[in-house]
Amino acid sequence: MVRQSVRQLARQKSTIIRRKIYSPKKEKEIETSKGEEAVRFATLGGLEEVGRNMMFFEYEDEIIVLDAGLQFPEEATPGIDYIIPNVAYLEERKNKVKAIIITHGHYDHIGAIPYIMDKLGNPPLFTAAITKEIILRRQEDFSKAPKINFEVVKAGDIRQLSKNFKAEFFGVTHNIPDGVGVILETPVGKMVHGGEFKFDYDNEGNPKNLDVWEKIGKQKIHTLLLDSTGAEEPGYSVSERVVEQELEKLFKKATGRIILGTFASLLDRLAEIIKIAERLNKKVAISGLSMKTNIQIARNLGFMKIKKDVIIPLEDIRKYHDDKLLILCTGAQGEPQASLMKIANGEHRYIQIKKGDTLILSSSIVPGNERSVQILKDDLSRQGALVYHYKMIDIHSSGHAPQEELKTVMKLIRPKFFIPIHGYYFMRWRNAQHAQEALGLKQEETILIDNGQVVSFTKDSVKPTDENIPAYYIMVDGLGVGDVGEVVLRDRRVLAQEGMVVVIATLDRHSGKFLKNPDIISRGFIYLKENKEFVEELRKRIRNLISRIPRHQQLETDYIKSLMRDQIGQFLYNKTKRRPMILPVIIEV
């Protein structure tokens, strides 16, 4: 391991990760004068992160919204459940919102729906069948959310969304079925949102369904908006056919039980895995509610065809020989509440690891989960399982098109302008580079914008403006939506790093004298019970401090508090080189 400065790195974890919001450049003034037709476009999330995807198109008195996702908490937002887009701008214009389109059923595209639909005036929601079912299932947890007016669409459908907007839906391959992209016909031209996609390959390794993109390219496309999540990755996707072959090989090699962990939403792969099990005459048991639910939805809608008696209840696994068993489970990211972690911890009701188990982690590691997955692998292999993961064999493939697939799509669609969406700035910058390379576009024709920054589309131009609409984080924590703000988070971060000390001085209102010894409570600082002497010294300091204050200032509580904060803080720092949060309390009786 190579390391730099100890203190630097130690501090790194503790420091708030700052997100600089640059104001858009002045020269990019709005060029559309009032008379000229212009479609306005902005994202409310998804451009400085992976997640919280939401954007809209606006023309005169009509607004079309695309996706409403959530973002998972970060190091800088401890304790938060998740972050949703700020829809203040849309809420003020809710009677203009004519439709919302949802591209697919992942939480970073549907997760905010229960929170924002009534703020948007509950417009019709256009989406594909399986996405509808996933949204409905989630609505069950939100009894107060309004009933959604679904408009179920399928690939090839064309729908007039409003007076000025028409949508044509096309199917894309992602790792959840029924994902769509959309050609949005606007008064100034056709905009394509590619959904989230990757290429599907046949057994010879040739990409399938390129004709979908080709057909779009035959329409004159104004602007292409394309997912940038994979834009840093070179080359092409690992074919799901290869993944299946490798999995089948592992299945055949296994002499005992096979336990396979993956994402509950990877329905295409789950379908294929169950087919392999059928071929190899294995029974399939499922552990994990979300996976069970998703498979049920997919079966109900005919996306998965599973032979009778293949799926068995988890409690029946003891009835079968080990080599006849495939157990599918959630938790391949090391999520503490999910099946695989319970199995690893020996806390699962039906499954205990035994020597000879083959354990397959058919997923990549979502950044931030490295340590949890490491622990998972450690614990499982320690108990005798043969663990396989994607670094060892091609048993996972990302759902996001890498560079060469992105470029192929760009070349097939040949838009006049390109806006990279979904992903951190650098990912989008790379995607813009790809577009310049693949299409010969000029830099100013590949537009990098910020969340909330309004873009103006005319027939022949795409101009980022310097108008910014609110797009800051709305945080969801327990029942509270938006009530946890920067102050609360800052406090949480400080508390996490150095703990806190409450110092209570109980004084006589009249004499200003101590009525009792100062009370000291601390948490996360040092263990006071083992540091009695230290506590006594601290008490003495507090008594001295207050007794030195001239009589006429003794009732200026704020002054005394600030004095206590400073001097007690300095004393503790000198003694320990730590800076706990100091909370002085003056009780006057």
- Within 370-389, which residues bind a second copy (CB under 8 A)? 370-372, 374-375, 377-379, 381-382, 387
Q: Applying CB under 8 A, which part among 47-55, 201-209, 465-473, 552-560 lies near a second copy?
A: 47-55
Q: From CA 323, how far away is CA 283, in angstroms rounded?
A: 9
Total binding residues toward a second copy, as defined by CB under 8 A = 124
* Among 200, 227, 357, 379, the one annotated catalytic: 227
Q: From CA 377, how far away is CA 358, in angstroms rounded?
A: 12
* 450 given a catalytic annotation: no
The total number of residues written for the chain in this structure: 589
Q: Restricting to residues 479-498, which ones interact with a second copy according to CB under 8 A?
A: 479-480, 483-485, 487-489, 491-493, 495-498
- As measured in angstroms, the least distance from the Cβ of 78 to a second copy is 4
Pick one of 210, 280, 366, 535: the residue that binds a second copy (CB under 8 A): 366
Q: Is 575 one of the binding residues for a second copy (CB under 8 A)?
A: yes
The nearer residue to a second copy, 367 or 550, going by C-beta atoms, is 367
* Among 104, 109, 389, 400, the one annotated catalytic: 400
Q: How many helices (H) and strands (E) does the chain have?
A: 16, 26
525 DSSP 8-state letter: S
The nearer residue to a second copy, 210 or 366, going by C-beta atoms, is 366
Q: Restricting to residues 257-286, which ones interact with a second copy according to CB under 8 A?
A: 263-266
Site string for a second copy, 405-434 (x = CB under 8 A): -------------------xxx--x-----
Residue written as tokens 């039906």? 350
Alpha helices (runs of H) in 98-204, residue ranges in sequence order: 107-110, 113-116, 129-139
Q: Which H helix or E strand runs over 190?
A: strand 189-193
- As measured in angstroms, the least distance from the Cβ of 381 to a second copy is 5
Work out the number of other CB atoms within 10 angstroms of the CB of residue 94. Answer: 15
- What are φ and ψ of residue 544, in 5° steps? -60, -45
Q: Applying CB under 8 A, which part among 74-82, 164-172, 184-192, 547-555 lies near a second copy?
A: 74-82
- As measured in angstroms, the least distance from the Cβ of 328 to a second copy is 13
* 566 given a catalytic annotation: no
Alpha helices (runs of H) in 62-195, residue ranges in sequence order: 88-91, 107-110, 113-116, 129-139
Q: Is 589 one of the binding residues for a second copy (CB under 8 A)?
A: yes
Residue written as tokens 């006057």? 588
Q: Is 68 one of the binding residues for a second copy (CB under 8 A)?
A: no
Q: What is the dihedral of CA 109, 114, 120, 126, to 10 degrees?
A: 50
Q: From CA 95, how far away is CA 465, in angstroms rounded?
A: 24
The nearer residue to a second copy, 12 or 547, going by C-beta atoms, is 12
Site string for a second copy, 514-543 (x = CB under 8 A): -xx--x-x-xxxxx--xx------------
Site string for a second copy, 174-213 (x = CB under 8 A): -xx-------------------------------------
Work out the number of other CB atoms within 10 angstroms of the CB of residue 583. Answer: 15
60 DSSP 8-state letter: T
- As measured in angstroms, the least distance from the Cβ of 565 to a second copy is 13
Tokens representing 493 are: 């971060």
- What are φ and ψ of residue 180, in 5° steps? -130, 155
Work out the number of other CB atoms within 10 angstroms of the CB of residue 559. Answer: 12
User: In sequence order, what DSSP letters do the residues of 288-299 get, joined into one string?
Assistant: -HHHHHHHHHHH
Pick one of 36, 61, 75, 444: the residue that binds a second copy (CB under 8 A): 75
Nearest to 523 by CA among 499, 491, 504, 503: 499
Pick one of 62, 108, 133, 357: the residue that binds a second copy (CB under 8 A): 108
- As measured in angstroms, the least distance from the Cβ of 238 to a second copy is 15
Q: What is the DSSP pairing of strand 150-152 with strand 125-127?
A: parallel
- As measured in angstroms, the least distance from the Cβ of 365 to a second copy is 9
Q: Restricting to residues 304-343, which ones interact with a second copy according to CB under 8 A?
A: 330-331, 333-338
Q: Is 14 one of the binding residues for a second copy (CB under 8 A)?
A: yes
Residue written as tokens 């406090």? 491
Q: Is 144 one of the binding residues for a second copy (CB under 8 A)?
A: no
The nearer residue to a second copy, 234 or 550, going by C-beta atoms, is 234
The nearer residue to a second copy, 417 or 525, going by C-beta atoms, is 525
212 DSSP 8-state letter: H
Catalytic residues: 227, 400
